Structure 1
Amino acid sequence: MRIIVTGGAGFIGSAVCRAIVHGTRHRAVNIDKLTYAATPQSTAGLAGSPRYRFCRLDIGDRAGLQAVLADEEPDAIIHLAAESHVDRSIEGPAAFIETNIVGTYTLLEAARRYWSGLPDTRRERFRVLHVSTDEVYGSLGPDDGTFTEASPYDPSSPYSASKASADHLAMAWQRTYGLPVIVSNCSNNYGPFQFPEKLVPVTIVNALDGMDLPIYGRGDNVRDWLHVEDHARALLALLARGRPGERYTVGGRAERRNIDVVRAVCGLLDRLAPRSGGGSYLEQIAFVADRAGHDFRYAIDPGRIEDEIGWRALEDFSSGLERTVRWYLDNEAWWRPLRQAGAAGRGKAAAPVGRAAGAAGVVAQGDVA
């Protein structure tokens, strides 16, 4: 198969590209605009492969999309390109509307035009997998069970509202035009190559830099954690065996409070990279004012993808978190330039312990990609 991956230089997209090239016989075509959160180094190891191509392109560029589709003649599209940081969506929602909603519309239209011109046998095989988030479902209480494919949409932030809009567009293009679309909604991802502004990586790099480890409220908000490599496997399984017109929720069955995730990271760092001055990284935890519209709990029931598709999350959260911490310890050359660029972009150096949250700003503890 020839698979286009939009947002393939992002955290989840790069994991999908690596999974395609290293784990299958398929060809990956990475389309990415290269915004601030894109890291081309995440796919640097694929550059020499004849089964990988990178195209710097905005998904809002319909003519550009149509040219790539005509040139590559793909069998599938995995749509991951999105603005994904909740805090940034609160501060400046316009980019989220433009990319997540208008960009998705533009991609769907380009895909529909391409798909409608395929021979019948190829039209039957073609798929568009639209990748979304559990945040579209809003917030769960402590005793509210889990999100499923039947959960009603109730987004709280500009980010989740833009993703919910994109989900509805994708399903409408399937129902109205017959475009073979599958929608997936995943829980919080973690793992290697994650841009250092999300909870796990920002905790690691802030700790190593001797900075505050900021936690919203009292850290009681709950997230369901999914290793990014398990997620990449899930998406390829859905592409192969998912049914057009259906939704699938993808989770790792690993609910944790934010404070417990941070404490676990600190415990691993205490063991693997002790502080030079002694003491525990726990001493760097700093509770900050809660953000507006902060959902209390997310939890996914992945029963449908497990039973119907045969996918299971393979990575236990404890072992996956240790793998992730070790990766950041071993790959400072990857994250350090991103850290420095972030500080330079705000016109100041990274703050030491006792000052504000640091080079990536206050960590967003709910967004996915």
Structure 2
Amino acid sequence: MTERPTGDKFAPLTPQEHAAVSAVPRDKSECVIPVPQDAPPIPTKHPGLGKLPCRWPYLDKNGALLFEVCRFETPDGKEFRPLSLWRASNGRLEWKWKGVPEPRPLYGLDRLTANSGAPVIVCEGEKSADAAAKIFPKSVAVTSPGGSQAASKADWAPLDGRKVMIWADADEPGGKYAEQVAAILAARACEVSIFDAAALASMAPDGSKREPEKGWDAADALIQWRNLAALGKAAAGLAKPFEATSATSRHDSTEAGSEMCDVDQEITRLAGLCVVEYEKGRKDAATKLGIRVAILDKLVAAERPKEDKQGQGRPLEFPEPEPWPEPVDGAELVPGLVGAICRYVILTENDALAAALWILHAFCFDAFPCTPRLA
């Protein structure tokens, strides 16, 4: 390879350099489920979060391990990480802190198979599902992986045609999760009911009223109620059948049309801003519209008048990035960023690492209002 002149690191690559960087192998690892007998030992701690205080194994209908969800206690609260097995292109098996591909299996498939005629309790989270199993011993408690915003990414087929009651957390995300799961299951010929989580959270074990605790769930109920039979009876009494009415559909359609009109008006307004003003407000605008910044940039660019410039080159286009489905430690992204940088830019290892850290600081952490400038 011809030696690149000092200070010319961003000059176009030569054909020889293109061939060299194209030879860098991409990650072609595949998720392996269920976990085979020859799998390496499962990790006992996370590189950034430490030991695993709580872990929930997801099993298939035969009881074989599919993957795990681990919970960590941090100074800022609790954090969850999926742990799954992957096979690299060279055949090597390794555990990774990432979720399995969609559609993701439910927690409790082995119990569903063993109790094929039992009613089902769908909870929001593995800990709540375990608690609900004790409160309703004649039912099967399950949950979907990934939290309240990932219901649509789960495989709900094992519940087809069954009687299902949904017990979500007593808060706004829990309510949305319950409604979304109910709609999915109703379309799968299930008989669906939803527990009134807020009403149950407002009921003390002695039957008196109390101030409801935000996020109160089956795990909290199990701790506070000593008489589980009374708790189960109270919860069942607050279950309401789910019905997807046409009126609701019309309301959603009208609301969606109104929101689309608002989006169009906002895109037009943003397209009229100068580059500096748009840059200042693009993140807030994307949050307001409920879309990703990358999508907003494309909509605004399409709305702006096209300028015919002589000699203008073809703009670079990159594939639209998808948001990572699970929370991830920034340190886990560094090797991938360094590899991506080195595929297109000739840099020393230290320079590539510095660029990767700058990318993380500038784009992955909203807490920083500014970022240092690379010299």
* Normalised TM-score (structure 1): 0.24
Which structure has the bigger radius of gyration?
2
* Normalised TM-score (structure 2): 0.24
| Larger helix share, 1 or 2 | 1
Q: RCO higher in 1 or 2 (8 Å CA, sep ≥ 6)?
A: 1
